Amino acid sequence: MSESLPYADADQFLAAVRAGFPQLSRQLKAIAQYVESHREQLVLDGVNESARHCGVQPSAMVRFAKHFGLSGYSQMQALFRAAAARQLAPNRDYRDRLRALIGSKGGPLAPADIAHEVIAGSLDSLEALQREVDGERFGQAVEMLVEAPSIWLVASRRAFPVGAYLAYALQHTSKPIQWLNGLGHMQQGQLRAIQPGDVMIAVSFAPYAEETLACVRTAAAQGARIVALSDSALGPLAEHASVLLQVQDGATFGFRSLTSTLCLAQSLFLAVAYRLEIEYTSTAH
Protein backbone atom coordinates (compact mmCIF):
# COMPACT_ATOMS: atom_id res chain seq x y z
CA MET A 1 0.00 0.00 0.00
CA SER A 2 1.33 3.40 -0.97
CA GLU A 3 2.67 5.51 1.88
CA SER A 4 0.70 8.48 0.48
CA LEU A 5 -2.52 6.92 1.70
CA PRO A 6 -3.75 8.61 4.89
CA TYR A 7 -5.07 5.30 6.28
CA ALA A 8 -3.18 2.13 7.11
CA ASP A 9 -6.02 -0.05 5.88
CA ALA A 10 -9.71 -0.16 5.02
CA ASP A 11 -10.74 -0.71 8.64
CA GLN A 12 -9.05 2.50 9.71
CA PHE A 13 -10.78 4.34 6.87
CA LEU A 14 -14.18 2.93 7.89
CA ALA A 15 -13.55 3.99 11.50
CA ALA A 16 -13.08 7.54 10.25
CA VAL A 17 -16.28 7.27 8.21
CA ARG A 18 -18.26 6.11 11.24
CA ALA A 19 -16.87 8.91 13.39
CA GLY A 20 -17.79 11.52 10.81
CA PHE A 21 -21.10 10.00 9.74
CA PRO A 22 -23.49 12.23 11.76
CA GLN A 23 -22.14 15.37 10.09
CA LEU A 24 -22.45 14.09 6.51
CA SER A 25 -25.09 15.25 4.05
CA ARG A 26 -27.91 12.87 3.16
CA GLN A 27 -26.18 11.98 -0.10
CA LEU A 28 -22.83 11.27 1.52
CA LYS A 29 -24.53 9.22 4.25
CA ALA A 30 -26.02 6.99 1.56
CA ILE A 31 -22.54 6.46 0.13
CA ALA A 32 -21.08 5.74 3.57
CA GLN A 33 -23.71 3.08 4.24
CA TYR A 34 -23.07 1.45 0.89
CA VAL A 35 -19.29 1.48 1.28
CA GLU A 36 -19.43 -0.17 4.70
CA SER A 37 -21.88 -2.89 3.68
CA HIS A 38 -20.60 -3.72 0.18
CA ARG A 39 -16.85 -3.96 0.53
CA GLU A 40 -16.43 -6.87 -1.87
CA GLN A 41 -18.51 -5.24 -4.60
CA LEU A 42 -16.66 -1.95 -4.17
CA VAL A 43 -13.45 -3.81 -4.99
CA LEU A 44 -14.82 -4.75 -8.42
CA ASP A 45 -16.98 -1.81 -9.50
CA GLY A 46 -15.88 1.40 -11.14
CA VAL A 47 -17.03 4.78 -9.92
CA ASN A 48 -20.04 4.88 -12.26
CA GLU A 49 -21.34 1.51 -11.14
CA SER A 50 -20.87 2.28 -7.45
CA ALA A 51 -22.60 5.63 -7.90
CA ARG A 52 -25.55 3.87 -9.55
CA HIS A 53 -25.89 1.51 -6.58
CA CYS A 54 -25.84 4.49 -4.20
CA GLY A 55 -28.33 6.47 -6.27
CA VAL A 56 -25.90 9.38 -6.70
CA GLN A 57 -23.75 10.98 -9.41
CA PRO A 58 -20.14 9.73 -9.84
CA SER A 59 -18.92 13.14 -8.70
CA ALA A 60 -20.52 12.47 -5.31
CA MET A 61 -18.41 9.32 -4.93
CA VAL A 62 -15.29 11.37 -5.59
CA ARG A 63 -16.47 14.08 -3.18
CA PHE A 64 -17.05 11.42 -0.49
CA ALA A 65 -13.52 10.07 -0.86
CA LYS A 66 -12.01 13.57 -0.75
CA HIS A 67 -14.09 14.45 2.31
CA PHE A 68 -12.15 11.76 4.17
CA GLY A 69 -8.73 12.83 2.91
CA LEU A 70 -8.33 10.60 -0.13
CA SER A 71 -7.46 11.80 -3.62
CA GLY A 72 -10.58 10.26 -5.16
CA TYR A 73 -12.57 7.11 -5.79
CA SER A 74 -9.61 5.10 -7.09
CA GLN A 75 -7.59 5.65 -3.92
CA MET A 76 -10.57 4.66 -1.78
CA GLN A 77 -11.03 1.53 -3.87
CA ALA A 78 -7.34 0.72 -3.49
CA LEU A 79 -7.78 0.50 0.28
CA PHE A 80 -10.41 -2.21 -0.12
CA ARG A 81 -8.54 -4.02 -2.88
CA ALA A 82 -5.55 -4.37 -0.59
CA ALA A 83 -7.68 -6.13 2.04
CA ALA A 84 -10.22 -8.10 0.00
CA ALA A 85 -10.12 -11.11 -2.29
CA ARG A 86 -11.91 -10.86 -5.60
CA GLN A 87 -15.57 -11.90 -5.20
CA LEU A 88 -18.51 -12.12 -7.53
CA ALA A 89 -21.09 -9.36 -7.04
CA PRO A 90 -23.52 -10.55 -4.31
CA ASN A 91 -26.61 -8.78 -5.63
CA ARG A 92 -26.81 -10.58 -8.94
CA ASP A 93 -29.40 -13.18 -9.81
CA TYR A 94 -28.59 -16.67 -8.51
CA ARG A 95 -28.56 -18.19 -12.01
CA ASP A 96 -26.31 -15.41 -13.35
CA ARG A 97 -23.91 -15.87 -10.45
CA LEU A 98 -23.67 -19.60 -11.03
CA ARG A 99 -23.07 -19.12 -14.75
CA ALA A 100 -20.41 -16.51 -14.04
CA LEU A 101 -18.79 -18.93 -11.59
CA ILE A 102 -18.59 -21.62 -14.26
CA GLY A 103 -17.09 -19.18 -16.73
CA SER A 104 -14.55 -17.82 -14.26
CA LYS A 105 -13.20 -21.28 -13.48
CA GLY A 106 -12.85 -22.33 -17.11
CA GLY A 107 -15.28 -25.22 -16.70
CA PRO A 108 -17.31 -27.23 -14.21
CA LEU A 109 -16.12 -27.57 -10.61
CA ALA A 110 -16.28 -30.84 -8.71
CA PRO A 111 -18.92 -30.81 -5.93
CA ALA A 112 -16.19 -31.26 -3.32
CA ASP A 113 -14.34 -28.20 -4.67
CA ILE A 114 -17.45 -26.08 -4.11
CA ALA A 115 -17.83 -27.47 -0.58
CA HIS A 116 -14.21 -26.68 0.28
CA GLU A 117 -14.53 -23.11 -1.02
CA VAL A 118 -17.72 -22.49 0.98
CA ILE A 119 -16.19 -23.97 4.15
CA ALA A 120 -13.03 -21.89 3.73
CA GLY A 121 -15.10 -18.73 3.35
CA SER A 122 -17.07 -19.55 6.48
CA LEU A 123 -13.89 -20.17 8.45
CA ASP A 124 -12.53 -16.79 7.37
CA SER A 125 -15.69 -15.01 8.53
CA LEU A 126 -15.62 -16.84 11.87
CA GLU A 127 -12.01 -15.81 12.45
CA ALA A 128 -12.98 -12.21 11.69
CA LEU A 129 -15.87 -12.43 14.15
CA GLN A 130 -13.57 -13.74 16.88
CA ARG A 131 -11.15 -10.85 16.29
CA GLU A 132 -13.75 -8.13 16.06
CA VAL A 133 -16.60 -9.04 18.45
CA ASP A 134 -17.08 -6.18 20.92
CA GLY A 135 -17.05 -7.76 24.38
CA GLU A 136 -18.50 -4.70 26.10
CA ARG A 137 -21.45 -4.42 23.72
CA PHE A 138 -22.04 -8.15 23.85
CA GLY A 139 -22.19 -7.98 27.64
CA GLN A 140 -24.64 -5.07 27.48
CA ALA A 141 -26.90 -7.06 25.15
CA VAL A 142 -26.87 -10.04 27.52
CA GLU A 143 -27.78 -7.87 30.51
CA MET A 144 -30.64 -6.25 28.61
CA LEU A 145 -32.07 -9.65 27.70
CA VAL A 146 -31.66 -11.02 31.22
CA GLU A 147 -33.53 -8.03 32.67
CA ALA A 148 -36.26 -7.89 30.02
CA PRO A 149 -39.81 -8.86 31.08
CA SER A 150 -40.33 -10.29 27.56
CA ILE A 151 -38.09 -10.93 24.56
CA TRP A 152 -39.33 -10.30 21.02
CA LEU A 153 -37.69 -11.66 17.88
CA VAL A 154 -37.88 -10.36 14.32
CA ALA A 155 -35.82 -11.59 11.36
CA SER A 156 -37.02 -11.80 7.77
CA ARG A 157 -35.82 -13.07 4.41
CA ARG A 158 -32.16 -14.14 4.49
CA ALA A 159 -32.04 -13.53 8.26
CA PHE A 160 -35.13 -15.69 8.93
CA PRO A 161 -33.14 -18.81 9.99
CA VAL A 162 -31.37 -16.77 12.67
CA GLY A 163 -34.70 -15.67 14.17
CA ALA A 164 -36.02 -19.23 14.01
CA TYR A 165 -32.96 -20.54 15.86
CA LEU A 166 -33.26 -17.90 18.59
CA ALA A 167 -36.98 -18.63 19.00
CA TYR A 168 -36.19 -22.33 19.45
CA ALA A 169 -33.25 -21.79 21.78
CA LEU A 170 -34.65 -19.03 24.00
CA GLN A 171 -37.85 -20.98 24.70
CA HIS A 172 -35.66 -23.19 26.90
CA THR A 173 -35.19 -20.27 29.29
CA SER A 174 -37.74 -18.86 31.71
CA LYS A 175 -38.28 -15.77 29.54
CA PRO A 176 -41.53 -15.16 27.62
CA ILE A 177 -40.55 -15.25 23.94
CA GLN A 178 -42.55 -13.62 21.15
CA TRP A 179 -41.48 -14.71 17.65
CA LEU A 180 -42.70 -12.27 14.98
CA ASN A 181 -42.33 -14.69 12.09
CA GLY A 182 -44.66 -12.84 9.71
CA LEU A 183 -47.22 -15.64 9.38
CA GLY A 184 -50.35 -14.10 7.91
CA HIS A 185 -48.59 -10.72 7.97
CA MET A 186 -49.88 -10.27 11.54
CA GLN A 187 -46.71 -8.93 13.15
CA GLN A 188 -47.97 -5.36 13.47
CA GLY A 189 -51.05 -6.58 15.33
CA GLN A 190 -48.90 -8.73 17.60
CA LEU A 191 -46.74 -5.72 18.40
CA ARG A 192 -49.62 -3.99 20.18
CA ALA A 193 -48.69 -6.14 23.19
CA ILE A 194 -45.09 -4.96 23.41
CA GLN A 195 -44.35 -3.00 26.59
CA PRO A 196 -41.75 -0.45 27.70
CA GLY A 197 -38.78 -2.39 29.05
CA ASP A 198 -39.27 -5.35 26.72
CA VAL A 199 -36.34 -6.13 24.44
CA MET A 200 -36.52 -6.94 20.74
CA ILE A 201 -33.76 -8.86 18.98
CA ALA A 202 -33.78 -7.74 15.35
CA VAL A 203 -31.64 -9.34 12.64
CA SER A 204 -31.24 -7.81 9.19
CA PHE A 205 -28.58 -7.10 6.58
CA ALA A 206 -28.29 -4.82 3.55
CA PRO A 207 -30.52 -4.17 1.69
CA TYR A 208 -32.54 -4.60 4.95
CA ALA A 209 -35.98 -6.19 5.10
CA GLU A 210 -38.62 -3.49 5.31
CA GLU A 211 -40.90 -5.70 7.46
CA THR A 212 -38.10 -6.01 10.03
CA LEU A 213 -37.48 -2.26 10.03
CA ALA A 214 -41.20 -1.58 10.46
CA CYS A 215 -41.32 -3.83 13.54
CA VAL A 216 -38.23 -2.17 15.00
CA ARG A 217 -39.67 1.32 14.51
CA THR A 218 -42.94 0.31 16.18
CA ALA A 219 -41.19 -1.38 19.09
CA ALA A 220 -38.89 1.58 19.70
CA ALA A 221 -41.85 3.99 19.57
CA GLN A 222 -43.60 1.94 22.26
CA GLY A 223 -40.62 2.06 24.60
CA ALA A 224 -38.97 -1.29 23.91
CA ARG A 225 -35.21 -1.56 23.60
CA ILE A 226 -33.54 -3.08 20.54
CA VAL A 227 -30.63 -5.51 20.31
CA ALA A 228 -29.63 -5.51 16.64
CA LEU A 229 -27.55 -8.09 14.80
CA SER A 230 -26.56 -6.39 11.57
CA ASP A 231 -23.74 -5.74 9.14
CA SER A 232 -23.43 -1.97 9.44
CA ALA A 233 -23.17 0.64 12.16
CA LEU A 234 -24.43 3.14 9.59
CA GLY A 235 -27.53 1.24 8.45
CA PRO A 236 -31.19 1.89 9.30
CA LEU A 237 -31.36 -0.91 11.88
CA ALA A 238 -28.51 0.63 13.87
CA GLU A 239 -30.40 3.93 14.16
CA HIS A 240 -32.89 2.38 16.59
CA ALA A 241 -30.59 -0.06 18.38
CA SER A 242 -29.78 0.28 22.06
CA VAL A 243 -27.00 -2.20 21.35
CA LEU A 244 -25.65 -3.15 17.91
CA LEU A 245 -23.77 -6.43 17.53
CA GLN A 246 -22.04 -6.01 14.20
CA VAL A 247 -21.28 -9.10 12.12
CA GLN A 248 -20.08 -9.54 8.55
CA ASP A 249 -20.64 -12.93 6.93
CA GLY A 250 -18.33 -13.95 4.14
CA ALA A 251 -19.42 -14.40 0.54
CA THR A 252 -18.23 -17.38 -1.49
CA PHE A 253 -18.85 -17.30 -5.26
CA GLY A 254 -21.09 -14.29 -4.57
CA PHE A 255 -23.35 -16.17 -2.10
CA ARG A 256 -23.38 -14.93 1.49
CA SER A 257 -23.39 -17.44 4.31
CA LEU A 258 -25.02 -17.17 7.74
CA THR A 259 -22.20 -18.91 9.56
CA SER A 260 -20.94 -15.99 11.63
CA THR A 261 -24.39 -14.59 12.36
CA LEU A 262 -25.66 -17.95 13.61
CA CYS A 263 -22.53 -18.34 15.74
CA LEU A 264 -23.12 -14.91 17.27
CA ALA A 265 -26.79 -15.74 17.88
CA GLN A 266 -25.89 -19.02 19.58
CA SER A 267 -23.31 -17.24 21.72
CA LEU A 268 -25.94 -14.70 22.74
CA PHE A 269 -28.41 -17.42 23.73
CA LEU A 270 -25.83 -19.39 25.73
CA ALA A 271 -24.64 -16.28 27.57
CA VAL A 272 -28.23 -15.32 28.47
CA ALA A 273 -29.11 -18.86 29.57
CA TYR A 274 -25.95 -19.01 31.68
CA ARG A 275 -26.76 -15.73 33.43
CA LEU A 276 -30.35 -16.79 34.09
CA GLU A 277 -29.21 -20.10 35.55
CA ILE A 278 -26.76 -18.30 37.85
CA GLU A 279 -29.61 -16.09 39.10
CA TYR A 280 -31.90 -19.08 39.60
CA THR A 281 -29.21 -20.99 41.48
CA SER A 282 -28.50 -17.99 43.71
CA THR A 283 -32.14 -17.44 44.63
CA ALA A 284 -32.80 -21.15 45.15
CA HIS A 285 -30.18 -21.23 47.86
Q: Quick one: 146 and 267 in the same domain?
A: yes
User: For the chain, what is the domain count?
Assistant: 2
Q: Domain boundary residue among 68, 83, 98?
A: 83
Q: How far apart are CA 49 and CA 54, in angstroms?
A: 9
Q: Quick one: 69 and 138 in the same domain?
A: no
- pLDDT higher than threshold 70 for residue 110: yes
Phi, psi of 247 (to 5 degrees): -145, 135
Mean residue pLDDT of the chain comes to 83
Asked if residue 126 belongs to a domain, the reply is: no
- Specify whether the CB–CB gap between 167 and 160 falls below 8 A: no
Cα-trace Rg, the chain: 21
- Specify whether the CB–CB gap between 109 and 252 falls below 8 A: no
pLDDT tens for each residue of 118-153? 788 788 888 888 888 888 999 999 999 999 999 999
Q: Domain boundary residue among 45, 68, 83?
A: 83
Q: How far apart are CA 262 and CA 251, in angstroms?
A: 15
Residue range of the domain that includes 34:
10-83
Burial category of 193 from C-beta neighbours within 10 Å (exposed 0-12, middle 13-18, buried 19 and up): exposed
Residue 85: band (very low, low, confident or very high) from pLDDT cuts 50, 70, 90: very low
pLDDT at 89: 41
pLDDT at 281: 64
Q: Domain boundary residue among 50, 83, 116?
A: 83
Q: Quick one: 136 and 277 in the same domain?
A: yes
Q: Strand 199-204's sheet: what is its strand order? A: 177-179, 151-155, 199-204, 225-230, 243-246
